[in-house]
Structure 1
């Protein structure tokens, strides 16, 4: 299942919990598991139906006693020592980790000692860990989100009166598409920014999907200009086997060719899935190279920066592409030349084929002083033999 966070009025922790509740996450279950699995006490979750500009939505509020304001180290220890599932722990830590990193840079302090103030209390822990539990409960595997609207004016916090967006929010939104508005309120809170930037794979228009459910979570204010709600749409991809990727490319005709291999290695380190160098003829008949890099949205900015800083290119093109990959898993094949690492790939017909890993074959060939082809063919033959033995 995938989810699209339509943040046309911004996002906060309460809005997210409200939308997840409408999608089917039971608040009683959420509260009980936060107490049992996380060890969080002295809070209560309440929900009520409200209308925002005529749209019916769920408003969730977290009531909490004046508990301790925890720093990043205390919260991370609480999550690590909890009985939460591994996916919930991972998502929760990603949110607090991003927030701590942003706060550490703003206040020039050690990350472990970042004191969250407004977002270190029980209510913010409920918002973020509760969101992670809700995502896991609904079986949501991928999250996408809209560009985020920023309000205007100022917000009062423990550090005084600050401009909107708050410094932590602005830091969290680095690399995320945003747009301005004249609404004189904070539309994206630090908690909301930590949630959406940690969960969302990419930001843009509604992704291709078959809609199943829609949930509306209400913000605390009733804005006159627009419905103050977060809409979360869940569904499935029309082509469940396809990944949304980005192709970044540029043409180069004036660079030392020795640099290409180095740049390729750096691009893979930046997260590129594939790097291609295609010979082309450019204007005035000059031979050149079309450098193409396939990557996901999360590392697109890093890839573009790498190309523009490490090559002689003065610009890049980028556009969305779809990629479908076959199911695969890592296996080890026992051969007369030792154990060979390989990829086992499932074919569209349901069968399996094996692809020995080059580096593993090369090391075995050098160690045994035999031809690389011999090791490769032995790995294939041993894989087929092992599978036939298992079927018997």
Structure 2
């Protein structure tokens, strides 16, 4: 069984996930080709570059909208900053307008279903978005069909989630396991004002996931990252016994003094 282990020692965001999978050998050209199937109206460009985080060479993945620069910031959607912001600032840059494209859960489901992806990519993407939609619905007290995404409806979050599904299929991953997940500390600004870290949706999605303590004043795990790890990881444990084949590092946007802001993925049999 081909196993992917998510070593989230500095948290996880969508852009860090994509960067790490590309770093571990996934083909970016195939990612670009598959993502073109999505009926996204905004113009965007994907960029992946090698960066050094505290001495570790890693891959930084960005979604650039037009020329707003908006870098993936994924803050995740939030901002991502973070690392994608992992810091995520949840903001993701969110470029200006980009944010005003609020997409509903139903819009995103239609988009993914219309794209003509393989069953596996479609199913993985829809499961992750459903997790986010249900969390938002609980927080705002509304049914799933009525949920609108702010940050997570943005182009970069859609690309991060669907892109992760595409790369997991490409790498033929059978099982995903993860370390405990640190969320960070401090405060972040999101659409509804200034909130403590983790953001409400992040916390909601991490129910049942073992959280690791972290003193860093930053948003280490973004809503997109939380949804990915909560939906995909079958087990939360130390590095499992396996023969290691590939290791990849996905860089976040922020840099920290005492630790590399990267997601490490380990692929083995």
State the partner residue of 1:31.
32
Q: Does 1:222 align with 2:255?
A: yes
Q: Does 1:210 align with 2:211?
A: no
State the partner residue of 2:63.
62
User: How many corresponding residue pairs?
Assistant: 235
Structure 2: any 5+ residue segments left out of the alignment? 67-96
State the partner residue of 2:75.
none
Give the drift of 1:167: 0.4
TM-score (norm 1): 0.59
Contact 1:27–1:45 (8 Å) recurs in 2: no
Q: Does 1:115 align with 2:148?
A: yes
Give the drift of 1:80: 1.5
Contact 1:48–1:58 (8 Å) recurs in 2: yes
Q: Please state which structure has a larger fraction of its residues in strand.
A: 1
SS at match of 2:136: helix
Q: Where in structure 2 are the equivalents of 1:226-265 lying within 5 Å?
A: 226-236=259-269
Q: For 1:335-368, what per-residue CA distance to the aligned partner results, in whole angstroms no more than 9, with x for missing partners?
A: xxxxxxxxxxxxxxxxxxxxxxxxxxxxxxxxxx
Q: Where in structure 2 are the equivalents of 1:311-350 lying within 5 Å?
A: none
State the partner residue of 1:286.
none
State the partner residue of 1:40.
40
Q: For 1:214-238, what per-residue CA distance to the aligned partner results, in whole angstroms no more than 9, with x for missing partners?
A: 00000001111211000000011xx
Q: Distance in 2 between matches of 1:26 and 1:210?
A: 22
Give the drift of 1:197: 0.9
Contact 1:58–1:217 (8 Å) recurs in 2: yes
Contact 2:23–2:248 (8 Å) recurs in 1: yes
State the partner residue of 2:82.
none
Contact 1:183–1:225 (8 Å) recurs in 2: no
Q: For 1:199-223, what per-residue CA distance to the aligned partner results, in whole angstroms no more than 9, with x for missing partners?
A: 1101111112110000000000111
Q: Where in structure 2 are the equivalents of 1:189-204 lying within 5 Å?
A: 189-204=222-237
Give the drift of 1:44: 1.0
Q: Distance in 1 between matches of 2:63 and 2:122?
A: 21
Name the stretch that deviates more: 55-64 or 123-132.
Answer: 55-64
After the TM superposition, which segments of 4 or more aligned residues of structure 1 sit over 6 Å from their partners? none
Q: Distance in 2 between matches of 1:210 and 1:222?
A: 31
Contact 1:173–1:197 (8 Å) recurs in 2: yes
Give the drift of 1:119: 0.8
Q: For 1:53-100, what per-residue CA distance to the aligned partner results, in whole angstroms no more than 9, with x for missing partners?
A: 111101111112445321101001111222000000000001000000
TM-score (norm 2): 0.85
Contact 1:51–1:57 (8 Å) recurs in 2: yes
Contact 1:15–1:230 (8 Å) recurs in 2: yes
Q: Distance in 2 between matches of 1:86 and 1:76?
A: 14
Q: Distance in 2 between matches of 1:132 and 1:45?
A: 16
Within the candidate set 95, 99, 108, 1:75 is matched to 108
Give the drift of 1:198: 1.0
Structure 1: any 5+ residue segments left out of the alignment? 237-392
Q: Where in structure 2 are the equivalents of 1:300-319 lying within 5 Å?
A: none
